[in-house]
Structure 1
Amino acid sequence: MSVMMISQVSGQSSQGYDGMLALVGDALRQAPGFVMHMSHPLDGGWRIVEVWDSREDAARFFAAHIAPRLPDGVRPKLSFHPLHSLLTRMEQ
């Protein structure tokens, strides 16, 4: 079942987010189960929303690629939400 993973990162800046995305973006695009990624700033932090084929796919990627690169003291708050539906644009 597809899931939405929401990661809230207190204290994250646009520079910190952009730096992390530069490090892991290619691996993310190629990760098994990855569907989409989006993000936006919050007051005092950053929110990342991703859609994955399964919670296990998302957790595996996070453990292998994100967690080892987090700066000391930065611990995202993760939540997972099963999706009822997912509609995407048709490829032409």
Structure 2
Amino acid sequence: MAVLMTAQIPGGTKEMIDGMRPVLDDITSAKGFIVHGNGASPGGWRVTEMWDTQADFEAWFETSVKPAFPEGGPMPSITFDELNEVVKA
């Protein structure tokens, strides 16, 4: 079942996300990836993505994002919501 992943990064900034651009540029080839968006949120930065499954996201996060995350930077708080339906353009 498709999931909506929301990551809150306390103290996160546009510059931090821009520094991870190579990882984000590769996301489109990740198994199960549907869509990505990010932007400022109160106290930090929010990343929202849709994936085919939570397992697809977790596999990509562990192998691609975690190793590239800024050393000493705040790790995101991640939540998942199951989606009943995804309609694509």
2:87 corresponds in structure 1 to 87
Gaps of 5+ in 1: none
1:50 corresponds in structure 2 to 49
What is the SS of the residue equivalent to 1:85? coil
TM-score (norm 2): 0.92
1:26-65 correspondence runs (5 A): 26-65=25-64
Distance 1:73 1:17, change over 3 A: closer
For residues 36 and 7 of structure 1, the distance between their equivalents in structure 2, rounded to whole angstroms, comes to: 14
CA contact (8 A) 2:4 2:82 kept: yes
For residues 14 and 27 of structure 2, the distance between their equivalents in structure 1, rounded to whole angstroms, comes to: 19
For residues 40 and 73 of structure 2, the distance between their equivalents in structure 1, rounded to whole angstroms, comes to: 19
For residues 10 and 59 of structure 1, the distance between their equivalents in structure 2, rounded to whole angstroms, comes to: 20
TM-score (norm 1): 0.89
For residues 53 and 61 of structure 1, the distance between their equivalents in structure 2, rounded to whole angstroms, comes to: 12
Moved over 2 A (4+): none
Identity of aligned residues (%): 33
1:65-84 correspondence runs (5 A): 65-71=64-70, 72-84=72-84
How big is the shift at 1:26? 2.9
Pair member with larger Rg: 1
For residues 12 and 73 of structure 1, the distance between their equivalents in structure 2, rounded to whole angstroms, comes to: 8
Gaps of 5+ in 2: none
Distance 1:65 1:82, change over 3 A: same
For residues 35 and 7 of structure 1, the distance between their equivalents in structure 2, rounded to whole angstroms, comes to: 16
CA RMSD of aligned residues (A): 1.0
